[in-house]
């Protein structure tokens, strides 16, 4: 790594202290004089027509200030994308999933608001429900939307090369059915907000990981110009996509209640509401067909994906796009066909989650590839090395890879004792069988979307040489604020303390798309770098004038400014800031910048082109101990060789890989919503099992250093790759321990025991 001062260093989180001490304020911590509480009445039916709503008893309850039903929103619908605008703030015609919001109450306190919701009388006509996406596609199945044929919410097709020809020319072709689970994003901070509508428009202090989406949704819902919408972001207790990347019934209701009452209005979802109603990762069925030559060379793949979309579209089209467009990485794949169907059901809504769209299909393809290698007698690592890509590489669907650490990552794993000695360690001790598995995966970095998706940044110099950095980028827990401050500090030659960052305020911080698609370090980072360089250029001109040298000869380092070719000419950054601020008319030094992807446009309809600015590569090894008597799996070790380009903050890269791997482990082994006719049976964190500290393996993260030309200082993403690589490596390890291939996630003890006993899976 070059001679950087803070870039590449293990800098502690700048928000660590306030989070540990409890000083950090989250949306639920906000309170204002006269504030009302909003509570939402939810449907007891998964599919029903709303015939009548009688709010009169609720309105009469002392302390109730206003009641809303779907009609109050005048038929307005929203969706995360233009093609997905089918969700009403409160259901106004039908309820399409159980616990969908149908009415809301604003009252003087939370208890009164809740009590009032119980007094609202809703007359429903129950409708037959449909809960299985494959059944939902059948003619004659109950329809979630009357006008939607076969309940297909969105379909997406890719066809590159000729898969039939490829299969014909293959030595081995396999077809398998895989299933991925019903899991939730799993943040610990529930959605909450305080909304205030006054003559300046709407101000909402809201738990949002991408504040500019609700900003647009609120403007559209209430027909307000964007400069009258102010989304202020408190600290965020986890996002991971889905709910916090979108708007909620509570957001719209709180705003409208504030307009009606003139008071600030607050809501905090309960954890039961979160688990019953909030956006989940789509559970998917993947019919995968793969062709291989005897030597392990992949010839082609055809995947048919059916995703459970639940009652509304939300971000679903993007999910389906990602299931396919990323399937041509990380292996050379000359022929690829993809047919993806997002299906409406009367389940809660399927949406984005960390590793968006890719965890499903990559799990299927990785496992299938291993199964075929096994059939052909090829080592699972060898088959990956054989097919793995190297940069520069262009996929058949024109995905451009300019840096790739896959092979180096796999080779790193190959040298590990955990891999080299795997056969020696193999075998059964008592009831415990040991296994090792690997995977090789890719994820996109700097997701590109339609619309106004750039990141802006502003850097302001105070007269004492300290700096305010304004960004619309969102740290929802991933540590991006620290990385962005590192970038500004590095460019200006300042220490971390000299750069102050504030939370997002859409009225004041520059526009930014938000925290999704692993875009913050890459794109907000690009903007931060540009804004800081703009400041540096302005200050360099002032220093150059003073020293009568060329501005290009001025350098910034260690809180000092100096002339490169005459280092005796030096002064503190503080002093230069003072000169700029005080000399002559007094300059107000403000730098600005915004991200520019620099790549070709991509074709959303064909699945062609770059959906990211760059791509990360993860090679993962997992070790498990399977208890053959109980079916219990203990994952004891993970080695994650992750190529995030150049790690700008290795401690953060390590933490993100660890977090993603543990989240992935939960989805591989434990996490699953139990559903009965659309009703979530385990809507609490006792019964919905996320991994806890004792479940966490020893995780070793190895940075595979590449230098990507598209990210600042060569950086790529580090937050999502390991959630893609974990499920196949763990399932491969379970196979190694048991000899059984599991194709359905999660791989629970029950499934393992049934398989070991050759009983049919339930």
Instruction: Name the site residues for a second copy (rule: CB under 8 A).
Output: 17-18, 21, 23, 31-33, 198-201, 219, 225-228, 450-456, 458, 460, 462-464, 466-468, 470, 497-500, 502, 505, 507-511, 527, 581-582, 584-588, 590, 592, 594-598
Residue whose CB is less far from a second copy, 428 or 508? 508
Shortest distance in whole angstroms from residue 260 CB to a second copy: 15
How far is residue 742 from each of residues 175, 627, 739, 745, measured CA to CA in Å?
14, 16, 10, 8
Shortest distance in whole angstroms from residue 69 CB to a second copy: 28
* Residue matched to tokens 């220093």: 543
Distance between CA 599 and CA 292 in Å, rounded? Answer: 32
Shortest distance in whole angstroms from residue 558 CB to a second copy: 17
Shortest distance in whole angstroms from residue 572 CB to a second copy: 13
Residue whose CB is less far from a second copy, 301 or 504? 504
Distance between CA 59 and CA 419 in Å, rounded? Answer: 67
Shortest distance in whole angstroms from residue 530 CB to a second copy: 10
Distance between CA 130 and CA 127 in Å, rounded? Answer: 10
Helix (H) or strand (E) holding 381, with range, is: helix 380-387
Shortest distance in whole angstroms from residue 475 CB to a second copy: 14
Distance between CA 89 and CA 357 in Å, rounded? Answer: 26
The Cβ of residue 624 has, within 10 Å, a number of other Cβ atoms equal to 30
Distance between CA 442 and CA 645 in Å, rounded? Answer: 13
Tell me whether residue 228 is exposed, middle or buried, using C-beta atoms within 10 angstroms of its C-beta: 0 to 12, 13 to 18, 19 or more: middle
Distance between CA 160 and CA 313 in Å, rounded? Answer: 27
Contact by Cβ (8 Å): 617, 442: yes
SS3 711: coil
Residue whose CB is less far from a second copy, 428 or 583? 583
Shortest distance in whole angstroms from residue 37 CB to a second copy: 15
Residue whose CB is less far from a second copy, 511 or 756? 511
- How many residues does the structure list for the chain? 762
Angle at 739 between CA 736 and CA 741, to 5 degrees: 90
Shortest distance in whole angstroms from residue 550 CB to a second copy: 24
- Where does 171-246 have alpha helices with state H? 212-222
Shortest distance in whole angstroms from residue 41 CB to a second copy: 28
Distance between CA 80 and CA 630 in Å, rounded? Answer: 43
Residue whose CB is less far from a second copy, 140 or 598? 598
Residue whose CB is less far from a second copy, 605 or 758? 605
Shortest distance in whole angstroms from residue 200 CB to a second copy: 7
Q: Give yes or no for a cis peptide into 472 (omega within 30° of 0).
A: no
List strands edge to edge, sheet with 64-69: 64-69, 101-107, 36-42, 265-268, 192-198, 201-206, 229-232
Shortest distance in whole angstroms from residue 464 CB to a second copy: 5
Residue whose CB is less far from a second copy, 538 or 570? 538
Mind giving me the DSSP string for 482-533?
Answer: HHHHHHHHHHHT--GGGEEE---BTTTSPP---S-TT-IIIIIHHHHHHHHH
Residue whose CB is less far from a second copy, 249 or 461? 461
Distance between CA 425 and CA 434 in Å, rounded? Answer: 7
Shortest distance in whole angstroms from residue 538 CB to a second copy: 11
Contact by Cβ (8 Å): 341, 306: yes
Residue whose CB is less far from a second copy, 226 or 385? 226
Shortest distance in whole angstroms from residue 268 CB to a second copy: 15
Distance between CA 367 and CA 743 in Å, rounded? Answer: 8
Residue whose CB is less far from a second copy, 49 or 592? 592
How far is residue 1 from each of residues 44, 156, 655, measured CA to CA in Å?
58, 42, 20
Distance between CA 245 and CA 240 in Å, rounded? Answer: 8
Distance between CA 55 and CA 57 in Å, rounded? Answer: 6
Shortest distance in whole angstroms from residue 573 CB to a second copy: 12
Contact by Cβ (8 Å): 409, 705: no
Q: Among 619, 646, 43, which Cα is nearest to 366's? A: 619
Distance between CA 154 and CA 343 in Å, rounded? Answer: 7
Residue whose CB is less far from a second copy, 333 or 527? 527
Residue whose CB is less far from a second copy, 32 or 188? 32
* Residue matched to tokens 């090369």: 161
Residue whose CB is less far from a second copy, 505 or 707? 505
Residue whose CB is less far from a second copy, 164 or 582? 582
Distance between CA 268 and CA 55 in Å, rounded? Answer: 22
Q: Among 446, 426, 445, which Cα is nearest to 436's? A: 426
Q: Among 724, 715, 685, which Cα is nearest to 271's? A: 685
Shortest distance in whole angstroms from residue 524 CB to a second copy: 11
Mind giving me the DSSP string for 228-265?
Answer: GEEEE--B-S---SGGGGS--HHHHHHHHHHHHHSS-E
Residue whose CB is less far from a second copy, 450 or 677? 450
The pair of structure tokens assigned to 86 is 């089918």
Shortest distance in whole angstroms from residue 563 CB to a second copy: 25
SS3 755: helix
Distance between CA 746 and CA 248 in Å, rounded? Answer: 28
How far is residue 551 from each of residues 56, 557, 565, measured CA to CA in Å?
73, 15, 12
Residue whose CB is less far from a second copy, 453 or 618? 453
Shortest distance in whole angstroms from residue 650 CB to a second copy: 25
Shortest distance in whole angstroms from residue 321 CB to a second copy: 19
Mind giving me the DSSP string for 216-228?
Answer: HHHHHHHT--GGG
Residue whose CB is less far from a second copy, 510 or 666? 510
Residue whose CB is less far from a second copy, 169 or 463? 463
């Amino acid at each position: 790594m070059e001679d950087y001062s803070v870039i590449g260093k293990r800098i502690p989180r700048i928000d660590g202290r306030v989070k540990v001490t409890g000083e950090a304020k989250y949306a639920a911590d906000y309170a204002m004089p006269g504030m009302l509480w909003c509570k939402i009445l939810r449907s007891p039916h998964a599919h029903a027509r709303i015939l009548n709503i009688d709010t009169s008893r609720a309105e009469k309850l002392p302390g109730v200030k206003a009641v809303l039903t779907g009609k109050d929103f005048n038929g307005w619908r929203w969706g995360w994308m233009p093609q997905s605008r089918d969700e009403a703030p409160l259901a106004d015609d039908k309820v399409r999933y159980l616990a969908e919001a149908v009415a809301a109450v604003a009252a003087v306190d939370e208890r009164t608001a809740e009590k009032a919701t119980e007094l609202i009388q809703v007359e429903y006509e129950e409708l037959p429900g449909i809960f299985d996406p494959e059944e939902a596609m059948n003619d004659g199945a109950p329809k979630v939307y009357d006008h939607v044929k076969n309940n297909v919410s969105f379909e997406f097709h890719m066809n590159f090369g000729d898969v039939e020809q490829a299969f014909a020319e293959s030595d081995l072709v396999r077809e398998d059915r895989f299933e991925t689970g019903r899991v939730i994003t799993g943040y610990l901070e529930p959605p909450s907000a305080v909304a205030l509508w006054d003559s300046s428009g709407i101000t909402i202090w809201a738990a949002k990981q991408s504040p500019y989406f609700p900003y647009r949704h609120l403007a559209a819902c209430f027909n307000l110009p964007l400069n009258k919408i102010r989304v202020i972001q408190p600290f965020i207790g986890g996002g991971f996509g889905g709910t916090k990347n979108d708007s909620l019934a509570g957001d719209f209701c709180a705003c409208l209640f504030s307009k009606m009452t003139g008071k600030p209005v607050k809501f905090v979802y309960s954890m039961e509401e979160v688990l019953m109603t909030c956006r989940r990762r789509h559970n998917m069925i993947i019919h995968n067909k793969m062709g291989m030559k005897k030597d392990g060379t992949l010839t082609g793949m055809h995947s048919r994906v059916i995703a459970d979309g639940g009652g509304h579209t939300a971000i679903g089209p993007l999910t389906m796009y990602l299931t396919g467009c990323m399937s041509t990485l990380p292996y050379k794949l000359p022929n690829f066909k993809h047919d993806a169907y997002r299906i409406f059901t009367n389940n809660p809504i399927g949406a984005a989650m960390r590793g968006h769209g890719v965890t499903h299909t990559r799990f299927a393809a990785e496992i299938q590839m291993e199964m075929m290698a096994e059939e052909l007698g090829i080592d699972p690592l060898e088959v990956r090395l054989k097919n793995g890509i190297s940069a520069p590489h262009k996929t058949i669907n024109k995905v451009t890879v300019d840096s790739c650490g896959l092979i180096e990552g796999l080779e790193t794993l190959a040298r590990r004792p955990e891999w080299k000695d795997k056969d020696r360690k193999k075998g059964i001790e008592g009831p415990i069988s040991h296994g090792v598995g690997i995977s090789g995966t890719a994820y996109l970095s700097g997701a590109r979307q339609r619309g106004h998706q750039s990141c802006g940044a502003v850097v302001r110099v105070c007269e004492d040489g300290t700096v305010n950095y304004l960004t619309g980028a969102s740290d929802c827990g991933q540590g991006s604020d620290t990385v962005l401050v590192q970038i500004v500090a590095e460019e200006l030659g300042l220490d971390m303390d000299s750069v102050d960052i504030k939370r997002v305020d859409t009225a004041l911080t520059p526009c930014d798309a938000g925290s999704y698609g692993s875009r913050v370090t890459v794109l907000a980072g690009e903007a931060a770098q540009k804004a800081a360089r703009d400041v540096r250029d302005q200050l360099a001109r002032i220093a150059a004038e003073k020293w009568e040298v060329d501005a290009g000869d001025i350098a910034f380092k260690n809180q000092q400014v100096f002339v490169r070719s005459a280092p005796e000419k030096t002064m503190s950054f503080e002093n230069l800031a003072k000169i700029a601020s005080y000399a002559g008319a007094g300059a107000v030094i403000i730098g600005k910048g915004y991200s520019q992807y620099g790549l070709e446009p991509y074709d959303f309809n064909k699945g062609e082109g770059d959906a990211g600015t760059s791509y990360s590569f993860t090679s993962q090894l997992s070790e498990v101990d399977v208890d053959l008597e109980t079916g219990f799996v203990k994952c004891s070790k993970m080695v994650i060789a992750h190529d995030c380009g150049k790690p700008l903050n290795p401690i953060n890269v390590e933490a993100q890989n660890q977090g993603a791997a543990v989240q992935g482990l939960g989805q591989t082994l434990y996490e699953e919503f139990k559903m009965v006719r659309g009703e979530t049976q385990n809507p609490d964190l006792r019964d919905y099992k996320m991994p806890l500290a004792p479940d966490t393996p020893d995780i070793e993260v190895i940075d595979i250093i590449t230098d990507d030309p598209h990210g600042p200082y060569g950086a790529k993403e580090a937050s999502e790759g390991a959630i893609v690589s974990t499920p196949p490596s763990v399932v491969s390890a379970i196979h190694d321990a048991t000899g059984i291939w599991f194709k359905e996630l999660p791989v629970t003890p029950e499934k393992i025991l049934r398989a070991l006993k050759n009983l049919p899976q339930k």
